[in-house]
Amino acid sequence: MDTPLERPARIDALPEYVDYEDRGCDLYPSCLRCPLPKCRYDEPGGAAAMLRGGRDANIVRLAERDGMTVDRLAEMFGLSRRTIFRVLRASGRGRREL
């Protein structure tokens, strides 16, 4: 009757005791070799938000520097006019008449 009972595995076990396999995500096959500056799961909105940030910066640059119209930007990026206006307004660079 002096047989010790087996303890269940702890939920909060240290990483050294966890079998971890680096499976990456749908963007890159390995987390440890991922070129992104921040993990898509750590960014609010995920990968889509990260990609939108670059897209939005390009839209603002083309509108301001090159003077492209909203219609041309919408066609170029495959977006609606309303989305282009939202991007420009969010950047604080919305224009009255484009």
How many C-beta atoms surround the C-beta of residue 76 within 10 A?
Answer: 13
DSSP-derived secondary structure for 33-72: T---SS-TTTSTTHHHHHHHHHHHHHHHHHHHTS---HHH
- Whole-model pTM: value is 0.59
Give the pLDDT confidence of 24-77 residue by residue, as tens digits: 998 899 999 998 888 988 888 888 888 788 899 999 999 999 999 999 999 999
The helix/strand/coil state of 77 is helix
